[in-house]
């Protein structure tokens, strides 16, 4: 699914989007495409640090030794600065490259998960942190809406043959977080990840990277599903049976999905460049 | 010598039979493997740079002012280092897998490596020298009075606005003048910001703030130059022989010419000329996009 599919019934929409780079004042900004593209990554990285520290704290790890409200206050300016950089640069480079993005599946994934991630960061995790991890009904509803956006984005990502391998990134990030945050399951996660994805890599290498045999796509598909399920079980153990109980299991789940949602935003953005 | 090494990496490393492909060539033609590795490289930047910048900002007295630096180093730095390890590993594999000879002769890649070296030297300076007095400035005293440095902030904001203004207003002007103006404005902005920050937290020694600033700037430039590799502004094929960029990128050896312009590398064709299996999969599926050297916008295959 792309934005072109979504707006196909609006007359002239595709023509308008296609002509966007020639419209003033967008046409004046051709020179900023390259530096803004680079700044877009800088903003994403700045935001990444802030999101990671806050959500790790919500998950129960305490990377800065601060209380939940304190770490939320400390990371907020950097989250906002990063997001502002990402949005300003993203809108401008998007308008300069409008048609390609309009017809791109990974871009659609990126925007859907970005909406989910913004709801998570500004309507859920920050509120949870301020209230010491206690979830109100409003927060749960906002979290549910964010989850719907993210799951929809993941579904679209997985359904596109060219972009589907990009799912590897959120799954890998999930395992990496278990290595950082996990208490009971850390080494099981490391073993499972090595077995699943190391296995694919070795198989691919032995057979030859340039193979286009659909068998490997099928195997990779099922390995990704299996890897995700194992990861979900390990998180279940960690969240509901883990020793770290400073925040409620709900808050921990929200923090996990918030992080994975942001990783999906970044993965979607990266795979725009790999799309056909 | 390094040119020969990267040519060997591209053409021979991992090639076990006469007709076989090197690892570089296999990765370059892989359906998804290079994309996954390079995508991981870019995503790891998010965690690596994001966490190291927050530490740098703390060193400069800007972020996490109520957290001792030692506490941040103890808990956040392991995440940063782990991300760094993955980032370097995937970066090296991406480099090998996407025509390392092109990367080696690319101005932006070279600048990226220069600032990577600067960042590593800065880490060594901080670790072995600056950090020795850490207990003296580990915490920022509450109620610390900042020095007045308003003019520095004004200079910083003015140079940022001027820098942004160069993009719409200097388009089409002499490239050298435009680039020089932008570099000068960036340097003025950086220096003004440092003066401002230096006055804001007097309890942190200047050397610590300087180390934080060098780290933050270096990693930012590493990301920016990495992104610029995808642009063909200074590709050897488009660079005038005898020009500065031609010389600094060692384009003579890339193009198969010695310094006098005489051809000498007929036996080593570039990757594009090497006989390879077709890019299009036999079942008619479309392969991922390849870099297009003629575009002015990136194709997404950047490092």
Closest residue to B63, CB basis, from A70, A78, A172: A78
- Phi, psi at residue B263, to the nearest 5°? -70, 140
Hey, are the CB atoms on A63 and B75 less than 8 Å from each other?
yes
Assess B291–A contact: CB distance below 8 Å, yes or no. Answer: no
Quote the CA–CA distance of B166 and B181 in Å, as a whole number. Answer: 8
The answer to whether A48 contacts B33, with C-beta atoms less than 8 Å apart, is: no
Can you tell me whether residue B263 is helix, strand or coil?
Answer: strand
CA distance A37 to chain B (A): 8
CB contact under 8 A, A49 and B26: no
Asked if B33 and A29 come within 8 Å (Cβ–Cβ), the reply is: no
Residue B241 carries which DSSP code?
Answer: T
Sequence-separated (6 or more) residues with CB below 8 Å from residue A259:
A51, A52, A55, A173, A177
Q: Please give the pLDDT value at position A97.
A: 87
Closest chain A residue to B227, measured at CA: A38
State whether B168 and A66 contact (CB < 8 Å).
no
What stretches of chain A show up as alpha helix (H) in DSSP? 3-6, 13-19, 33-59, 68-96, 98-102, 105-119, 126-130, 137-159, 168-181, 186-193, 199-207, 214-241, 249-272
Which pair of structure tokens corresponds to residue B196? 């401002």
Q: What is the pLDDT of residue A208?
A: 64
Kindly report the pTM of this predicted structure: 0.85
Q: Is B14 on the interface with A (CB under 8 A)?
A: no
pLDDT value for B284 = 32
Residue A244: the pLDDT is 55
Using a CB-CB cut-off of 8 Å, the residues of chain B touching A157 are: none
- Asked if B67 lies within 8 A of A169 by C-beta distance, the reply is no
Is residue B280 over pLDDT 80?
A: no
Q: Answer whether B31 touches A (CB < 8 Å).
A: yes
Cα–Cα distance measured from residue B300 to residue B303, given in angstroms and rounded to the nearest whole number:
9
**Is A159 in contact with A5 (CB distance < 8 Å)?**
no
A62 touches chain B (CB under 8 A): yes
Alpha helices in chain B (DSSP H): 2-11, 23-29, 33-59, 69-97, 100-104, 107-128, 134-137, 150-169, 175-200, 206-228, 244-248, 251-254
CB contacts < 8 Å between A and B, how many? 176
Nearest to B226 by CA among A217, A268, A213, A40: A40
Task: Tell me the per-residue pLDDT of A4-20, one tens digit each, with 9 for 90 and over.
Answer: 888 888 888 888 888 88
pLDDT tens digits, one per residue of B259-276: 444 444 444 444 443 333
Burial of A229: CB neighbours in 10 Å, binned 0-12, 13-18, 19+ = exposed
- Cα of A145 to nearest chain B Cα, Å: 25
Query: Is the CB of residue A112 less than 8 Å away from at least one CB of chain B?
Result: no
**Environment class of A187 (CB within 10 Å of its CB; exposed 0-12, middle 13-18, buried 19+):** exposed
Any chain A CB within 8 A of the CB of B301? yes
Is the Cβ pair B50, A46 closer than 8 Å? yes
- Yes or no, beta carbons of B288 and A162 under 8 Å apart: yes
**Considering CB atoms only, which of B27, B48, B64 is closest to A209?**
B27
- Is residue A29 within 8 A of residue B167, CB to CB? The reply is yes
pLDDT (mean) for B18-25: 83
Q: What is the value of ipTM here, to two decimals?
A: 0.89
CA distance A87 to chain B (A): 16
User: CA nearest B34 in A: which residue?
Assistant: A209
Q: How far is residue B84 from each of residues B80, B120, B137, measured CA to CA in Å?
A: 6, 12, 27
- Could you give the C-alpha distances from A205 to A117, A210, A219, B27, B127, in angstroms and in order? 35, 9, 14, 9, 39
Residue A78 in this model has a pLDDT that exceeds 90: yes
Each residue's pLDDT tens digit, B108-142? 999 999 999 999 999 999 999 998 888 888 888 88
Q: How far is A141 from chain B (nearest CA, A)?
A: 29
What tens digit of pLDDT does each residue of B61-83 get?
888 888 999 988 888 899 899 99
Mean pLDDT of A141-161: 92
The Cα of B230 is separated from the nearest Cα of chain A by a number of Å equal to 10
- Which span out of A161-170, A178-187, B106-115 was modeled with the highest average pLDDT? B106-115
Q: How far is B142 from chain A (nearest CA, A)?
A: 16
Q: 3-state DSSP call for residue B257?
A: strand
Give the pLDDT of residue B157: 94
Between B134 and A245, the more confident residue is: B134
**Residue of chain B with shortest Cα separation from A76:** B63
Cβ contacts of A49 on chain B, cutoff 8 Å: 47, 49-54
Q: In sequence order, what are the beta bridge partners of B257? A: B263
Q: Write out the two tokens for A115.
A: 């909406």
Per-residue pLDDT reduced to its tens digit, B227-271: 998 888 888 888 888 888 888 888 888 887 544 444 444 444 444
Bond into A25 cis (ω within 30): yes
Torsion on CA atoms A17, A81, B51, B192, rounded to nearest 10: 120
């Amino acid at each position: 699914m792309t934005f072109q599919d979504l707006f196909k019934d609006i007359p002239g929409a595709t023509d308008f989007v296609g002509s966007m780079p020639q419209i003033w004042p967008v046409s004046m900004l051709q020179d900023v495409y390259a530096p803004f593209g680079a700044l877009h990554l800088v903003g994403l990285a700045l935001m990444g640090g802030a999101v990671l520290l806050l959500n790790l704290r919500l998950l129960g790890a305490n990377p800065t030794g601060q209380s939940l409200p304190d770490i939320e206050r400390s990371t907020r300016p950097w989250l906002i600065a990063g997001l502002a950089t990402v949005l300003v640069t993203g809108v401008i480079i998007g308008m300069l490259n409008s048609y390609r993005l309009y017809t791109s599946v990974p871009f659609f994934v990126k925007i859907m998960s970005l909406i989910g991630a913004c709801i998570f960061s500004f309507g859920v995790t920050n509120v949870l942190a301020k209230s010491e991890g206690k979830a109100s009904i409003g927060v749960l509803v906002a979290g549910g809406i964010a989850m719907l956006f993210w799951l929809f984005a993941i579904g679209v990502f997985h359904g596109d043959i060219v972009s589907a391998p990009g799912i590897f990134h959120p799954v890998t990030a999930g395992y990496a977080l278990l290595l950082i945050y996990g208490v009971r399951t850390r080494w099981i996660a490391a073993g499972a990840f090595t077995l699943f994805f190391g296995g694919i890599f070795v198989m691919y290498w032995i057979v030859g990277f340039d193979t286009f045999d659909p068998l490997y796509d099928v195997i990779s598909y099922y390995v990704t599903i299996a890897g995700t399920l194992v990861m979900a079980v390990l998180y279940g153990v960690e969240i509901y049976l883990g020793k770290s109980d400073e925040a409620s299991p709900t808050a921990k789940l929200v923090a996990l999905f918030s992080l994975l949602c942001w990783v999906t935003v970044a993965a979607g953005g990266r795979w725009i460049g790999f799309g056909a | 010598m390094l040119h020969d090494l990267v040519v060997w990496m591209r053409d021979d490393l991992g090639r076990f039979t006469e007709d076989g492909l090197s690892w570089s060539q296999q990765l370059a033609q892989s359906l998804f493997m290079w994309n996954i590795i390079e995508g991981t490289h870019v995503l790891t930047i998010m965690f690596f740079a994001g966490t190291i910048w927050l530490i740098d900002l703390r060193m400069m007295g800007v972020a996490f002012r109520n957290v001792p630096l030692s506490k941040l180093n103890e808990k956040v730095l392991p995440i940063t280092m782990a991300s760094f390890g993955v980032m370097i590993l995937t970066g090296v594999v991406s480099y090998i897998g996407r025509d390392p000879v092109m990367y080696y002769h690319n101005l932006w890649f070279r600048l990226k490596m220069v600032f990577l070296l600067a960042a590593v030297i800065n880490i060594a300076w901080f670790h072995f020298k600056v950090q020795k007095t850490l207990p003296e400035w580990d915490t920022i005293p509450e109620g610390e009075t900042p020095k007045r440095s308003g003019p520095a902030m004004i200079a910083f904001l003015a140079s940022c606005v001027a820098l942004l203004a160069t993009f719409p207003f200097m388009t089409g002007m002499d490239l050298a003048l435009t680039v020089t103006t932008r570099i000068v404005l960036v340097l003025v902005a950086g220096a003004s910001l440092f003066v401002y920050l230096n006055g804001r937290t007097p309890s942190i020694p200047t050397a610590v703030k300087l180390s934080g600033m060098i780290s933050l700037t270096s990693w930012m430039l590493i990301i920016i130059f990495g992104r610029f590799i995808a642009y063909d502004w200074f590709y050897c094929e488009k660079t005038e022989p005898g020009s500065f960029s031609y010389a600094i990128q060692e384009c003579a050896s890339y193009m198969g010419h010695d310094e006098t312009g005489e051809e000498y590398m007929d036996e080593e064709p570039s990757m594009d000329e090497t006989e390879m299996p077709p890019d299009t999969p036999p079942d008619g599926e479309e392969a991922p996009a390849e870099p297009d050297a003629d575009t002015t916008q990136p194709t997404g295959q950047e490092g």
